[in-house]
Amino acid sequence: MSENGRMDAPSARTQVRRLPKRGHYDAAVIHAILDEGFVCHVGFVHEGAPVVIPTNYGRSGDVIYIHGSAASRMLRTLEQGVPVSIAVTLVDGIVLARSAFHHSINYRSVVIFGTAVAVTDPAEKNEALRLFSEQLVPGRWDEVRPPAPQELKATNVLKVALDEASAKVRTGGPVDDEEDYALPIWAGVLPLRLKAGAVVDDTRLTSGVAAGAHITGWSRG
């Protein structure tokens, strides 16, 4: 990212080629999408075969963090410096057209290319773990027991810079062929949003302890 929050220029890998008008390279757009999501898909090559692993993540500035067990195949492979691609997608609606061909979805997505770097500084590692917690449920970190030394040791954290990242966004209604607009078929958008259901108390919850509003009122979008 440049100092003004834009990519200096999209790279050959981040340039949106299919429907390029949907491409965005502003840091603000990319960060907003990453901050609303919490599940990413990490793609890499392991022993000559492509692998894609879903995991949660956290973002700080122009860096995205991923983590897992010290024995994780994904983390052990990425630590070797192999190229990695990370994707995050938010689905905002189902676009229903008059023809089957023009059905679509409204979405916001980010694709990142880069090389993962192991986080070895204890303070940064602990901060990354806080980010993972806050990415899932903001406010949760302050009310839970922090990671113990042995838990930190058993957890590996990697970071990938957002130097090569782009967003792709679709909004709006269906775009039908002109002759299809006269068809007596409903068309439009079915909006979608991620909303939590009623909380389910743990069976061993201490009496009198209730979930806070940051949990019961959780939502995305």
How high is the pLDDT of residue 71? 84
Cα dihedral sign, 208-212-215-216: positive
For 119-158, give the DSSP string. ---HHHHHHHHHHHHHHHSTT-GGGSPPPPHHHHHTEEEE
For 111, counting Cβ atoms within 10 Å of its Cβ (0-12 exposed, 13-18 middle, 19+ buried), the class is buried
Q: What percent of the chain has pLDDT over 90?
A: 81
pLDDT tens digits along 100-127: 999 999 999 999 999 999 999 999 999 9
- What pLDDT score does 6 carry? 46
pLDDT for the residue 4: 47
Where residue 66 falls (left for φ over 0; alpha for ψ -120 to 50; beta otherwise) is beta
Name the nearest CA neighbour of 52 among 69, 67, 73. Answer: 73
Domain ranges of the chain: 20-220
Both tokens of 151, joined, read: 């838990």
pTM: predicted TM-score of the whole model, two decimal places: 0.88
Mean pLDDT of the chain: 90
- Segment 79-99 mean pLDDT: 96
**Cross-strand partners of 84:** 114
Helices (H) and strands (E) in the chain, counts: 5, 12
At 3 the pLDDT is 46
Q: Is-contact 187 97, C-beta < 8 A?
A: yes
User: How far is 172 from 187, CA to CA, in rounded Å?
Assistant: 12
Q: Which of the listed CATH numbers 3.40.50.300, 2.30.110.10, 3.30.930.10, 3.30.1360.30 matches domain 20-220?
A: 2.30.110.10
Residues 6+ apart with CB under 8 A from 43: 50, 51, 52, 84, 85, 86, 87
Distance between CA atoms of residues 182 and 88, nearest Å: 37
